[in-house]
């Protein structure tokens, strides 16, 4: 079916996500070392985990605002993207609920908080000569890209018991103008798994080997951000067995660096 989404206007508190919270620890950053994991074939690829990006109170407030943004005031079944502007309900592959909220200011504030993690901005500000991220043909053509913003489209996801998202790779989003495209997923966890002191059992973001025999899990943890490249990384949202898992997913957007642009070289 053809789909389009609108959001209610939401009054954002002026200080929301602007100040460093007092009810959380300092932000930490850890690159996933695939080379020493069960998935060494993913060693060239990028995934990193930031902890303590949002506090518990900020996660709760973000969820509250997301529900206010919904034109129905409620969650709806998450559809599966099968083409530009075309989605289908396919619960054998994706079984969860969703709210879509477009707000550039909120994602800017979330990204500003992420950038407090040492070295993150430098790691992601440019894409050049990275065949695993941009593709071998793009490297052969000498394409260079610079990060310009976070996608304003936030997909809030609600996974109850029995909900899941089967193995897949994230697709790139290109703006209607064609000037910007995404290369990385940003995934924000809004509550805790049992492993991290909460009541959600299951629900890990799991990276898989191609034969689905080996895996690496990233467990839900309130305020945690997982950033990983779209290309090549097969992953899933594991089935939730108890509790309700809440997350938000968006993308990092890039523009092509043209040959005569002064980019500091």
DSSP symbols for 31-79: E--GGGSS-GGGTTS-EEEEESSS-HHHHHHHHHHHHHHSTTSS-EEPP
Q: Report pLDDT for 21.
A: 86
Q: Are strands 86-88 and 144-150 parallel, antiparallel or unpaired?
A: unpaired
Average pLDDT of span 140-146:
96
pLDDT number for residue 82: 79
pLDDT in tens, 173-191: 999 999 999 999 999 999 9
Query: For the chain, which residues make up each domain, given as ranges?
Result: 34-72+135-259
* Residue 151 confidence (pLDDT): 99
pLDDT, residue 22, reads 85
CA R_g for the chain: 18
pLDDT 10s digits, 54-66: 999 999 999 999 9
The CATH homologous superfamily of the domain defined by 34-72+135-259: q2cbj1_9rhob like domain (2.60.120.620)
pLDDT band, residue 149 (cuts 50/70/90): very high
Q: pLDDT tens digits for 25-39?
A: 999 999 999 999 999
Q: Mean pLDDT across the stretch 78-87?
A: 84
Structure-token pair, residue 5:
């989404």
CA distance 206 to 164: 11
Q: Is the pLDDT of residue 5 over 70?
A: yes
The lowest-confidence range among 50-59, 83-92, 157-166 is 83-92
Q: What is the pLDDT of residues 88-135, one digit of tens each?
A: 999 999 999 999 999 999 999 999 999 999 999 999 999 999 999 999
pLDDT-based confidence at residue 261 (cuts at 50, 70, 90) = low
Are 23 and 56 a contacting pair, CB within 8 Å? yes
- Residue 260 binned pLDDT confidence (cut-offs 50, 70, 90): low
- Answer yes or no: are the C-beta atoms of 170 and 230 closer than 8 Å: yes
**pTM score, whole prediction:** 0.95
**235 burial class (0-12, 13-18, 19+ CB within 10 angstroms)?**
buried
Provide mean pLDDT across the span 152-157. 98
């Amino acid at each position: 079916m053809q789909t389009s989404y609108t959001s209610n206007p939401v009054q954002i508190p002026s200080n929301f996500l602007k100040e460093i919270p007092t009810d959380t620890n300092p932000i930490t950053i850890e690159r996933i070392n695939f080379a020493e994991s069960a998935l060494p074939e993913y060693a060239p690829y990028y995934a990193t985990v930031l902890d303590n990006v949002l506090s518990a109170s900020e996660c709760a407030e973000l969820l509250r605002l997301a529900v206010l943004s919904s034109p129905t005031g409620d969650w709806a079944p998450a559809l599966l993207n099968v083409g530009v502007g075309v989605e289908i309900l396919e619960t054998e592959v994706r079984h969860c609920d969703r709210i879509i909220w477009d707000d550039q200011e909120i994602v800017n504030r979330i990204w500003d908080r992420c950038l407090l993690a040492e070295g993150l901005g430098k790691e992601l500000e440019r894409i050049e000569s990275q065949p695993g991220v941009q593709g071998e043909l793009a490297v052969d053509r000498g394409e260079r890209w610079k990060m310009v913003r976070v996608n304003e489209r936030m997909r809030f996801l609600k996974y109850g018991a029995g909900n899941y998202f089967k193995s897949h790779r994230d697709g790139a989003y290109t703006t209607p103008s064609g000037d910007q495209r995404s290369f990385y997923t940003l995934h924000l966890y809004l509550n805790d798994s049992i492993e991290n002191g909460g009541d959600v059992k299951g629900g890990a973001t799991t990276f898989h080997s191609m034969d689905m025999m080996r895996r690496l899990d990233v467990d839900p943890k309130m305020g945690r951000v997982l950033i990983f490249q779209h290309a090549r990384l097969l992953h899933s949202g594991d089935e939730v067995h108890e509790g309700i898992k809440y997350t938000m997913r968006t993308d990092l957007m890039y523009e092509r660096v043209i040959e005569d642009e002064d980019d500091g070289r």
